[in-house]
Structure formats: C-alpha cells, structure tokens
C-alpha cells in the first residue's frame, strides 16, 4: 500500500503559533501514521503556482518558538478571485480549476488549511469542489466563528499589554492623554482584552459606537480628580455614533482593498481640541503579529495541529478544529465561512470592565 500524502498551508496574515501548528501536523502524521507530509508555500499562491516541498521530521524540529511561518503566506491569493495586474488595470481570474488539478497531480489525500475567516471561506469552496480539507483557526483578532479562541490572539494581547504598560509611565510623567491603536477591523477582542489587562481608562471597540462628548467628559472627570493623564485603547475599526471607520488607504490589487488605520490620530486631534490637554497617539500595527508565541499559544497551536490530523484520519473533511469550552470539536466549514465572531454588549468582560470604571465611549 502506498503511503498517504497530506499537505499543509498557511494563509492570510502571519501570527505567532503558525510554526507550532505546522510542527504538530508534520510530527503527528509521520510518527503515528507514517504519512508523507508536504508544505505548500505562500498559502493559496503555492496551490495555484505549483509550489510544494516535502516536510520531514528534521524540517519542523526546533520551530516551535519561531514567529511567522516557515512556509510563507499570502493574503491576496484567492483562487476564485486571483488578481492579475495589467498595467494600471487590475483584473480578477478564477484559477480554482488549476488548484484542483495541481492537488490531484500531487496525489494528495488531504490538505490542512491554517488561516482566518478569509482562508477558511476559500477552504470551504475548495472542499465543495472536491478537495478533502481540514481547517485550523488562526487570527490575532480572535474573531472566527465556531471557536472560543484562536492561537495568535494571546501573544498579540501580551504585546499590546506590554505596550500599554510602557505608555502608562510616559503618560503619567508628562500629564498626557495617550491613545494606543490596535488591530481589530470588525471585532474588538484585542482592544478589550489588552485594554483591561493594561488598565486602559477608555476602551473603544467596533461593537460599541462611541460619542466623542462622552470620552471628553471622562477625560475631564479624571483631570478634575487629580488624574492628570488618561490611557485610551482603540481598535482600528472603532467608529463614532452615526459615523464611519477611518480608512488609511485602498490597495487595488487585493481581494480586501480597504485598509483601516488612523482612528487614534483623528480621535487625538478631537480630544486635544475639545479639552486643551496634550494628546499623543501610538499605532501598534504589525508589532502585534510578530515575535515568539506565548506558552498558551504554543500549547493551543500544538493541540489544534494534532487534532487536525486526527480529523483527517477519521475522514472528517470539510470541518475546522474548533475550541468550545476547552474541548476540540469538528465545526463545519460552512458555519465558519464568511462570518465574524463579534463581541456582544452583554459580554462578561465588558460588564467586568464597566464595574471597575472603564468607559466604552457610550
């Protein structure tokens, strides 16, 4: 009997813990099942352009602590909407049939797709077109449906928390309002967790539109009580009541062309104008994605990778490994595709933060 062959790819934005999943998938498949394992380079880009390399035990030994991904990644290579630039024009082509043909020519028996909502939405379509796929949820934003937690999130929160700690001392010394802008297009999980852990006085998230008057009122209240500084944590997707998000730029050669960013500077200018208090803004940006994963993320990523192989062996294709009440369960990709897990206003953490005086701008 021929050895079974499986492949693994990482799609979308990078985050801490990706290599831990690659390691777990590869080692589990080789040690317990004698599979041949292959890595597809640069996400779906590698599937389209036939970029595949074999992974042996030594290839994944020692990568547990590494940030990023040894396979590379891409957040532009949607096989169903592949970008083709012709001069100043941008066109989209359906290259999905090439992907399916390459998969079959490689003789693969299964594919592990590690990624966020975009990657897993594509994975669902590929599964519908006949590719046996198991998904692994990855995003620092922690906003994937069907799972309580994603690896990469804990590391991002740790980085944000450390950043807030560092801002605290300079804010207090210079009697300033310091605003930290963190990632979070449609969901404010990083801002909420990082803001609470760092003692943010005001936390602004996409799920709760803010009123600038309420923020100014809170800042003035603190100043009147002798607190001559304030810390504000804002998600990039936060917006005022009746207003719109702040768009940093439009990337034409992308399936998601709108890039958010700059809300902290807009907010800072408004607060300084309305209060007369010196205000500074800091954007954490891609610092949240990089570096060594926390112990929590290393363990979670390893569990997810091992479970993905188990699901393949059981033939549970078309599913993602979800974490529900700390148990790993198969979640249909159909339930994951195209959605975002947002924070509800009744979330226990929001209620907890309000109880200790945190303002959400509402």
Catalytic residue ranges? 141
- What's CA 22's distance to the chain center, in Å? 17
Q: Which residue has the tokens 């290599």?
A: 19
With CA atoms as reference, report the closest residue to 38 among 25, 49, 48: 25
312/292 Cα distance (integer angstroms): 29
Nearest to residue 256, comparing CAs of 122, 145, 95, 70? 122
Tokens coding 311: 């699901």
Nearest-CA neighbor of 153 among 115, 192, 204, 190? 190
Task: State residue 171 phi and psi, 5-degree precision.
Answer: -65, -45
Instruction: Report residue 82 as tokens.
Output: 């592949």
Beta partners for 233? 180, 203
C-alpha–C-alpha distance, residues 148 and 16, integer Å: 18
The two counts, helices (H) then strands (E), for the chain are 12, 15
- Check residue 286 and report its DSSP letter: G
Count of CB atoms situated within 10 Å of the CB of 200: 28
Residue of 42, 92, 96 whose CA lies nearest to 253 = 92
Residue 12 burial (10 A CB sphere; 0-12, 13-18, 19+): buried
Listed in sequence order, the residues at least 6 apart from 168 whose beta carbon sits closer than 8 Å to its beta carbon are 178, 198, 199, 231
The DSSP element (H or E) to which 93 belongs, if any, is strand 89-93
């Amino acid at each position: 009997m021929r050895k079974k062959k499986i492949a693994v790819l990482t799609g979308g934005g990078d985050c801490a813990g990706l290599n831990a999943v690659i390691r777990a998938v590869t080692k589990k498949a080789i040690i317990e099942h004698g599979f041949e394992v292959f890595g597809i380079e640069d996400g779906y880009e590698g599937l389209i352009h036939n970029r595949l390399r074999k992974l042996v035990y030594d290839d994944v030994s020692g990568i547990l602590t590494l940030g990023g991904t040894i396979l590379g990644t891409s957040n532009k290579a949607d096989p169903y909407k592949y970008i083709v630039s012709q001069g100043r024009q941008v066109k989209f082509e359906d290259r999905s049939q090439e992907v399916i043909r390459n998969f079959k020519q490689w003789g693969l028996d299964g594919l592990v797709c590690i990624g966020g909502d975009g990657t897993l939405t594509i994975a669902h379509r590929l599964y519908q077109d006949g590719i046996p796929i198991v998904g692994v949820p990855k995003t620092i934003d922690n906003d994937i449906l069907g799972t309580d937690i994603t690896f990469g999130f804990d590391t991002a929160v740790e980085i944000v928390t450390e950043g807030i700690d560092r801002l605290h001392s300079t804010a207090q010394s210079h009697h300033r309002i310091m605003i930290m802008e963190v990632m979070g297009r449609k969901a404010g999980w990083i801002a909420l967790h990082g803001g609470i852990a760092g003692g943010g006085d005001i936390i602004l998230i996409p799920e709760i539109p803010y009123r600038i008057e309420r923020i100014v009122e809170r800042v003035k209240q603190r100043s009147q009580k002798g607190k001559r500084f304030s810390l504000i944590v804002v998600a990039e997707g936060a917006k005022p009541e009746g207003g719109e998000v702040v768009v940093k730029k439009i990337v034409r050669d992308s399936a998601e062309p709108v890039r958010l960013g700059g809300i902290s500077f807009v907010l800072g200018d408004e607060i300084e104008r309305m209060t007369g208090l010196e205000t500074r803004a800091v954007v954490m940006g891609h610092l949240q994605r990089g570096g060594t994963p926390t112990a929590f993320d290393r363990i979670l990523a390893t569990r997810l990778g091992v479970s993905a192989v188990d699901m393949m062996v059981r033939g549970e294709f078309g599913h993602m490994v979800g974490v529900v009440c700390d148990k790993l369960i198969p979640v249909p990709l159909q339930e994951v595709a195209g959605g975002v897990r947002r924070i509800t206003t009744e979330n226990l953490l929001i209620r907890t933060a309000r109880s200790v005086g945190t303002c959400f701008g509402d």
